[in-house]
Every structure is written in structure tokens, then in C-alpha cells.
Structure 1
Amino acid sequence: MKATEVLADGFGRIREVVHETVADLTAEELNARLDPAANSIAWLVWHLTRVQDDHVADAAGLEQVWRAGGWADRFGLPLPADGIGYGHTAAQAGTVRVDAPELLLGYYDAVHEQSLRYVRGLAAADLERIVDERWDPPVSLGVRLVSVLTDDLQHAGQAAYVRGVLRRRSA
């Protein structure tokens, strides 16, 4: 299996968790917070999607789906348009609210498709390209993509956990 196939498989696994977690939730469940400082499923999935969109688009030299696909307007969040959620306070995280799973999944799927097109077009040597020199050592494309995968999978797992707690409470 080629390295790019492994990366594509990783992105596919994140998609499975996101869809299984979000697909049939109500607006109340999507936006629920387990306590006032906790992140909602809506925020977790929005954030993991924004991270993937931002980081992959930057590495690929593409425009973010968030802007190019009109998703920023559809979400209509009272946050800076280029924000991805890093450093959000509890109050800022609470402003990420959605009315239906279709909004989150539509944006997620659009980002997922752009990410897969990019990753599938890479050669193994492309993964060595330096994409961020602000770190020591500088960050290669391969390291950046693995970073996106791990961050996204962690947040998808958190969202799945919140879903489980919410469903047990309502049972």
C-alpha cells in the first residue's frame, strides 16, 4: 500500500466516524453542551472540518472550501470568517450552532472530497516537501497531513462520546 493510499484511508475513516456521529441528530443534540465550558458536537465537527479545510488547502495551494463553496455564508457564524476554532473561549465555541446535521455534513463532505482529490494526486516524494518553516524542524507535507488526521480523529471521537452521553441521558 502506498503512503498516499494510507492517508486517503485515514481520511475515509474520519468520514465514517463523523457521519455515524452526526447523521440523525436533532438540532438540540448537535448544539448541546455537557457543561457550560464543554464543546458541542456542532463545534467539534465544525472545528475538525475547518482544520482540515485550512491545512490541506494551504498545503495544496487551493482556496478553502469554507469560502469557495459559500459555507461561511451558510453557517452565518458571528466569528471571524477565517477562524478555525483554535483558541476559542467557551463563549465563542457556544456561538457555533447548527439547525440540522445536513449543514455540518455538507460542509464536511465538500472538504473531504477536496482533501481526497489532493491526497490521491500526490506521489510519495511530494510528502517530503516542506510546507511550514516556522517549526524546528520544519514541517513536511507528510507530517502536516498526519497532524490533520490525528487532530480530526481526536475531535471526531470526542463528538462520538458526547453523542453517547446525550443518548444515554435521554433513554
Structure 2
Amino acid sequence: MNTSEVLTDAFGRIHEAVHDAVDGLTPDGLHDRLDPGANSIAWLVWHLGRIQDDHVADAAGREQVWLADGWSERFGLPFDTNETGYGQTSSQVAQVRVGSAEMLLGYFDAVHTRTLEYVGGLNGPALNRVVDESWAPPVTLGVRLVSVIADSLQHAGQAAFIRGALVRR
């Protein structure tokens, strides 16, 4: 496997996990929380999509799907349009409400498609490019993409856990 194939496979696994966690859920199921301080499936998937969108768009030097394709308006969340969910409070988590699983997956799938377009053209040396100098050491594209993959898989797994817990209730 080459670099782009490995990255495509990794992002494909996130896609599968997200769909497994979300497909067929009602809005109530998407927004249900295991306790008042817990994240909902809707928030987890929105957040992982926003982080992937933000980080990959920045690395690729293009506008985020959230803004370019009008998803911010469609979701109508009460946050700044650049909000990704990082560090949000429990009350902010509760404000992430979507009308349907299809809407949530529509945004995620649009981000996924754009991500695959980008990583499909990468080679090994491209991963050494510094994309964020605000950290010590500076963050390379490879480190940034691995971070996005790890974070996304963790949140997709959390969403799957919540779905399983809710089904057993």
C-alpha cells in the first residue's frame, strides 16, 4: 500500500463506524444522552466531522465544507460558524440538534468525500510538510492526519457505545 491508500483506508474505517452508529436513528435517539453531562451521538458525529473538515481544509488550503456548501446554515446551530465543538460545555453539547440522521450523515459524507479527494493525491514526502507552527515541535501533515484519524475513531467508537447502551435500555 502507498501513502494515499493507507490514508484512504483509515478514513474509510471512520466512515463505516459513523454510519454504523447513526444509520436508522431517530432525532430523539441522536440527541439522547446517557446522563446530563454526557455527549450525544449527534454531538459526537457533528464534532468529529467539524474537526476533520477544519483540519483537512486547512492543510489543503481550501474552504471548509461546513461553510462552502452551506451546512452551517442548514444546521442553524447557535454558535460561531467556525465552532468545531472543541472544549464545549455540557449545555453547548445539548444545543447540537439535528433534524434527522440523514442530515447529520449528509454533512459527514460531504466532509468524507472532500477528505478522500485530498488524501488520494498524497505521497510519503508530502506528509513531512509543516502545517502548524504554533506547536513545539511544529505539526507536520502526517501528524495532523493521524491526529484527525485517532480523534475521529475515538468519537465514532463513543457514538457506537452510546447507541448500544440506548438500544439495551
Q: After the TM superposition, which parts of structure 1 deviate over 6 Å for at least 4 consecutive aligned residues?
A: none
The aligned runs of 1:112-123 (5 Å cut-off) are 112-123=112-123
Percentage of matched positions with identical amino acids: 63
Report how far residue 154 of structure 1 moved. 0.2
> What is the root-mean-square deviation of aligned Cα atoms in Å?
0.6
> Alignment partner of 2:63: what SS?
coil
Equivalent-residue separation in structure 1 for 2:84 and 2:7 (angstroms): 22
Tell me by how many angstroms 1:155 deviates. 0.2
Q: Tell me the residue number matched to 2:129.
A: 129
Amino acid aligned to 2:6: V
What TM-score comes out, normalization by structure 2 length? 0.99
Map 1:60-139; keep pairs closer than 5 Å: 60-139=60-139
What's the CA shift for 1:54?
Answer: 0.1
AA matched with 1:6: V
SS at match of 2:131: strand
Gaps of 5+ in 1: none
Once the two structures are TM-superposed, the CA of residue 99 in structure 1 deviates from its matched residue by: 1.8
Could you tell me which residue of structure 2 aligns to residue 17 of structure 1? 17
Between the aligned partners of 2:25 and 2:76, the Cα distance in structure 1 is: 20
CA-CA distance at 1:137 after TM superposition: 1.1
Note the C-alpha offset of 1:158: 0.2
Counterpart CA distance in 2 for 1:4 and 1:151 is: 19
Long gaps (5+) in structure 2: none
Deviation at 1:135, TM superposition (A): 1.1
2:29: which partner in 1? 29
Give 1:11 shift. Answer: 0.1
Separation (CA, whole Å) in 2 of partners of 1:74 and 1:102: 12
One-letter amino acid of the structure 1 residue matched with residue 108 of structure 2? Y
* Cα offsets for 1:77-135 (capped at 9, x unmatched): 01111000011000001000112101110000000000000000112111110001111
Q: Helix, strand or coil for the counterpart of 1:74?
A: helix
Q: Which amino acid aligns with 1:121?
A: G
1:98 & 1:88 partners in 2: Cα distance?
Answer: 17
**How high is the TM-score relative to the length of structure 1?**
0.97
